[in-house]
Amino acid sequence: MLIAIPDLLSPAEVAHCRRVLEGSRWVDGRVTAGAQAARAKLNLQIPTDSAEAAELGDLVLQALGRNPTFTSAAMPLRVLPPMFNRYDVGMTFGAHVDGAIRSIPGSGARLRADVSTTVFLTDPEDYDGGELVIEDTFGTQEVKLPAGHAVVYPASSLHSVNAVTRGSRWASFFWTQSMIRSDERRTLLYDLDMAIIAARSRLPDEDPAVLSLANVYHNLLRHWAEM
């Protein structure tokens, strides 16, 4: 399942992220890549233990918490602290699969990466290239969204970032351990949730059809959720 989330961050939040990132120190992005991905990766990141990463990570997490589409699509149990990267001219990230298990900085705990998310911090007209290319059961899609918009997709997908040929592409990225391990089941629950929302827009909450759909949704969630 690939879901685009419009306006996860407001224009003011995007502008704040940009101001902070412009004053940040950037390092080689391979510091957070596994051995295989490091060979394909050419970009920059701000250090994950920096004050800027902590501040902007909290801003992104707060935005996730108030966004019902992200909750419905990802069914988050744990979210890895968001990271921030940039691709200048000539930079790219070849085809790779994200590592299945990620360490949560400073905690000693680990997280299973079920869902990947990219939040775009640069408008498409400000750079050429830099498309996020995602290959999965839904086919191959190129994603290049307005600043503040996000895309959610299975971490198991083969994906890449096309080389930037003009300008600079800035983004936040992170992984989520979902309560629903299976992408197929997450997709079914997401579709059912969208159907319930559509039904509630036309019918009162106490309508038998609405109640029946909600009952099925929650019983499936109860049956499938891992806590």
* CATH code of residue 46: 2.60.120.620
For residues 97 and 37, what is the distance between their CA atoms, to the nearest angstrom? Answer: 8
Higher pLDDT, 31 or 73: 73
pLDDT band at 106 (very low <50, low <70, confident <90, very high): confident
Is residue 35 domain-shared with residue 143, that is, in the same domain? Answer: yes
Q: Are strands 115-120 and 150-154 parallel, antiparallel or unpaired?
A: antiparallel
Is residue 43 domain-shared with residue 81, that is, in the same domain? Answer: yes
Is residue 34 domain-shared with residue 92, that is, in the same domain? Answer: yes
User: What pTM, to 2 d.p., does this model score?
Assistant: 0.94
Is residue 79 domain-shared with residue 119, that is, in the same domain? Answer: yes
The pLDDT of residue 108 is: 82
Alpha-carbon distances of 216 from 41, 172, 211, rounded to whole Å: 43, 35, 9
Range of the domain at 204: 183-224
The pLDDT of residue 107 is: 81
Other C-beta atoms within 10 Å of 211: how many? 13
Domain boundary among 178, 193, 208: 178
Is residue 123 domain-shared with residue 195, that is, in the same domain? Answer: no
| Helix-, strand-, coil-residue percentages of the chain, each rounded to 5 | 35, 30, 30
For residues 174 and 57, what is the distance between their CA atoms, to the nearest angstrom? Answer: 10
Is residue 171 domain-shared with residue 188, that is, in the same domain? Answer: no
Rounded average pLDDT over 102-126: 94
CA nearest 9: which of 108, 123, 114?
Answer: 123
Is residue 17 domain-shared with residue 94, that is, in the same domain? Answer: yes
Is residue 53 domain-shared with residue 109, that is, in the same domain? Answer: yes
Whether 35 has a pLDDT exceeding 70, the answer reads no
Which residues in 62-167 belong to E strands, given as ranges? 76-79, 83-87, 92-96, 101-103, 110-112, 115-120, 127-129, 132-136, 139-143, 150-154, 158-161, 164-167
Is residue 17 domain-shared with residue 108, that is, in the same domain? Answer: yes
Whether 34 has a pLDDT exceeding 80, the answer reads no
Structural domain count of the chain: 2
121 neighbors 18 (Cβ within 8 angstroms)? yes
Domain boundary among 160, 178, 196: 178
For residues 187 and 136, what is the distance between their CA atoms, to the nearest angstrom? Answer: 13
In the chain, the percentage of residues whose pLDDT exceeds 70 is 98
What are residue 103's DSSP bridge partners? 110
Is residue 15 domain-shared with residue 104, that is, in the same domain? Answer: yes
Is residue 34 domain-shared with residue 120, that is, in the same domain? Answer: yes
Is residue 149 domain-shared with residue 199, that is, in the same domain? Answer: no
What are residue 134's DSSP bridge partners? 141, 159
The pLDDT of residue 31 is: 82
For residues 44 and 202, what is the distance between their CA atoms, to the nearest angstrom? Answer: 48
Rounded average pLDDT over 101-117: 91
pLDDT band at 223 (very low <50, low <70, confident <90, very high): very high
pLDDT band at 14 (very low <50, low <70, confident <90, very high): very high
Rounded average pLDDT over 69-82: 97
